[in-house]
Amino acid sequence: MGSQDIAIRFKDVSFSHESGYVTLDEASFSLRQGMKVALMGQNGAGKSTLFSLIMGTEKPIAGGININDDLKIALSQQVMPRECLSLTLRDFFDQYFDGEDYELDRKIKEYLEIVNLEVPIDKKVEDFSGGQQARLLLASALIQEPDILLLDEPTNNLDADGIGHLMTFLMMYEKTCIVISHDADFLNTFTDGVLYLDIYTHTVEQYAGDYYVVIEEIAVRVEKERAKNAQFEKKIRDNKEKINYFQNKGGKMRLLAKKLRNEVAEMEASKVSVRQDDKTIRSFEIPLQEDITGNILTLKEVSIMKGQKVITMPVDKIVKKNQHLLLKGPNGIGKTTLLERIAEGKERGEHILEGVRVGYYRQDFSTLDFNAKVFDSLLDVMQIQEEERMRSVASGFLITRDIMDSKIGSLSEGQKGLVAFAQLVLLAPGLLILDEPTNHINFRHIPHIAKALDEYKGAMVLVSHVDDFVAQIRIDDELDLGKG
């Protein structure tokens, strides 16, 4: 393989944040031009940071990053930057387009067609749904016509049509692509390798093959390493028992004990460093607010988007305690806006029973105070502030002491999601409002989240485009805004 065929090479790269948290420790890997790989790792392992190193917005503290100077890089972010929300569509794309101004409108239309979005270019970014903003982020990367495309959770907020459209595009895409995603089926359609960022060793493991083959290969390797270590550990225990016996006998027996101690030290040093599997959150329960009865949520009419117009849609939905309502509809019809208006008490015809505590999980985490420390954010939602219980709940969501002392804004999107779920447990709400609660969440955690929602005894309104997730949750009623 000639050096001109290499798109990206990391050689013994180390990186740590200002807080001292280490993301990479002498990590090495290389990618050929045209490769499509998945970047995997536990929430908080530093996947988005690795993208920042590739983009050059972060610099390593040691080692080298070599990227072919002839190759252009573009990043499709997982969350729309807040400073972009007030921009018109044309101004948003103008930030990323380096061609002539007279070409911009034509290029915007071309790349919006690729992401299956037909909208006026004078519309403001903040007026688009979460799913539409996800498509805009992808189009903003594509309009740069990059040689290396970095996609950070590109399926978040996309409905089934959007995900299918993206899959088709990536299967036909002939340039280098690195994708962060927790959607296993999505990754398996187009990737031919995996980069695994290990949160414990801070190194990058590289594997060839499609996603499911690689996962199986990792599992087999880990099992072999554990078996080898088990053999070492058995022999170490046997030798230590002999050492305890011989060292009190004196003479040659004492020399034999010394020899056995040396063997034990060698075996300890020879034990294989087994990659630890991603930790999974503990099973949890969202407690129900006590002493609530009756119609917790009543909807008589809602506002939805039809084309470019807001229309009123008559409905007749009542959600009582222990009833779960699924809110459905395509991207852009107004599901997120409706949930927001319900939570804030603004939707016409809506009534939330007085005194009901509302647990609202927003897909953009805007209910969290990004400037607050995690510790304070969790303690503040409790009706009776008990630090011991708060720390116990936080631990179940992999919120460590270091994370507790961090500002929410410094966390990865996946960690913000776990903080949001910990808040729901500590709040004990009477009404749960959940907008795409699997976005950014490690797929290993999702069964525990689904089980907690399935068993929740209060009223619940759920929006999710992940059918496998919804199938695990008891749904008592549906409201399809697309049929209005």
**What backbone phi and psi angles, to 5 degrees, belong to 64?**
-130, 145
Which DSSP symbol is given to 84? G
CA–CA dist 51, 141 (Å, integer)? 14
The two structure tokens encoding residue 344: 């804030």
Rounded to whole angstroms, the Cα distance separating 57 from 67 reads 14
The model scores a pTM over 0.75:
no
pLDDT of residue 213: 78
Which residues of the chain register pLDDT less than 70? 1-4, 19, 245-252, 254, 257, 264, 266-278, 346-349, 484
pLDDT computed for residue 267 by the predictor: 62
What's the rounded Cα separation, in Å, for the pair 120 and 472? 38
Q: Are 479 and 326 in contact (CB under 8 A)?
A: yes
Per the structure block, which two tokens stand in for 108? 């915007």
| 78 SS3 class | coil
Q: Are 277 and 196 in contact (CB under 8 A)?
A: no
- The C-alpha atoms of residue 117 and residue 60 are separated, in whole angstroms, by 38
Alpha carbon separation from 8 to 65, 178, 214, 263 (Å, rounded): 7, 11, 21, 43
Q: 314 - beta bridge partners?
A: 301
CA dihedral 111, 116, 118, 124 (to 10 degrees): -70
Query: According to the model, what pLDDT value does residue 252 have?
Result: 67
Separation between Cα atoms, residue 194 and residue 205, nearest integer Å: 8
Q: Are 419 and 399 in contact (CB under 8 A)?
A: yes
Residue 333 burial class via C-beta count within 10 angstroms: exposed 0-12, middle 13-18, buried 19 and up: buried
75 vs 126, 203, 410, CA distance in Å? 20, 22, 20
SS3 of residue 184 by DSSP: helix
Give SS3 for 349. coil
- What does the block give as tokens for 249? 């006998």
Alpha carbon 313 to its chain's center: 34
The answer to whether 460 and 323 have CB atoms below 8 angstroms apart is yes
Confirm if 394 and 378 have CB atoms less than 8 A apart. Answer: yes
CA distance 275 to 286: 32
So what's the pLDDT on residue 313? Answer: 85
> Hey, what domains does the chain have and what are their CATH numbers?
3-72+146-214 (3.40.50.300), 295-483 (3.40.50.300)
Only one residue has tokens 């519309």, namely 123
Strands 431-435, 358-361: pairing kind: parallel
Token pair listed for 217: 């290969």
- What pLDDT score was predicted for residue 274? 47
Q: Encode 214-240 in three state secondary structure.
A: HHHHHHHHHHHHHHHHHHHHHHHHHHH
DSSP assignments along 42-65, one per residue: -TTSSHHHHHHHHHTSS--SEEEE
pLDDT score of 1? 46
Please, are residues 7 and 148 in contact by the beta-carbon 8 Å criterion? yes
331-354 pLDDT tens trace: 778 888 889 888 887 666 678 888
Check if the beta carbon of residue 87 is closer than 8 Å to that of residue 136. Answer: no
